Amino acid sequence: MAEPFRTWRFIDDGAMPGARNMARDEAEARCAGPGIPVATLRLYGFEPPAVTLGRFQDLEGTVDPVLCAREGIDVVRRATGGLAILHLEDFTYSVVMRSSGGKVPGRRECFDDVARGIVAALGTLGVEAAQVEHGRRDEEGGPWCVEGITGVDIEWNGKKICGSAQRVFAGGVLQHGSLFLRDTADVMARIGAGGRSGSTGGARFAALDEAVGRAVSREEMSVAFREGFESEMRVSLETGSLTDAELELAEELERTKYAGKGWTTGRWPEGAVGGL
């Protein structure tokens, strides 16, 4: 188990457009280094609702952009891999852990630490979740994260309850993910493309209202995350905001990358903007 950090930066950003959220996550990870808190927990929502595609996922065959527009749902692409997530009635987090002593945290090290915080947060709501080893990946069930099994998942009652994705950058590692306040499989089925959306979750996935036994608000989850991470990780979450450098880079990334059609459709060259 990794040695816990003493102080993390805590940012509750509220709801923002998908392109801005993805730009902020990437900017944090790219700015990670000296002068930046050793770790940041950012909580946020999406307004308008959005689908985030995995970095290498095909837009075609995943969602229909015309149907998404009709539903008032943006489509953006993440900097991380994995499968599509519908951010409609969900609760989204990101964690950036910067390098310490010249060593960037490994993918599994970061996942284990974050999973402990999430499991503890769910525990404050009476949900007995656990980190589960599958020893395999199965992303063939459909285009949605709720349908896929990864090597390690956070589960409740045999069902996946949190979907997460990672990417390692030069100065640290970014992990972000979502828990769903309620089951939105009906919307996923409507906006899915190519007839591949029929199963959407089913027995593999649980929303928070099912696990808790009642409706759960985003505000309640924010409190649970803060309490869970502080108690389990033995850290102090100090409320903060993005630095000027992070904000400047986030604005550039939003304008030149995430808000553009090229990146979302997969036809945007990786090094198109200053190697970003």
Confidence of residue 199 (pLDDT cuts 50, 70, 90): very low
Q: Is the pLDDT of residue 2 over 80?
A: no
- Percent pLDDT > 70 in the chain is 85
Per-residue model confidence (pLDDT) at position 148: 64
Specify whether the CB–CB gap between 172 and 94 falls below 8 A. no
> Above 70 in pLDDT, residue 3?
no
Give catalytic residues, as residue numbers: 145
- Identify the CA nearest to 262 among candidates 61, 75, 22: 75
Per the CB < 8 A criterion, the answer to whether 127 and 156 are in contact is: yes
The pLDDT assigned to 109 comes to: 85
Contact 87, 71 (CB under 8 A): no
Q: What domains sit in the chain, N to C, each tagged with a CATH number?
A: 7-265 (3.30.930.10)
Tell me the per-residue pLDDT of 94-121, one tens digit each, with 9 for 90 and over.
999 987 766 667 778 888 999 999 999 9
Element (H, E) at 188: helix 185-191
Alpha-carbon torsion, ordered 133, 136, 137, 141, to 10 deg = -100
Per-residue pLDDT, 267: 74
Per-residue model confidence (pLDDT) at position 201: 47
Half-sphere exposure of 103 (CA within 13 A, CB side): 7
pLDDT for res 193: 78
Position 275 pLDDT exceeds 70: no
pLDDT at 274: 39
pLDDT, average across residues 175-196: 88
For the stretch 11-22, pLDDT in tens is 999 999 999 999
pLDDT at 197 over 50: no
pLDDT band (50, 70, 90) for residue 86: very high
Mean predicted confidence (pLDDT) in 44-51: 97
CB-based contact 184:86 (threshold 8 Å): yes
Given this model, what pLDDT does residue 4 score? 47
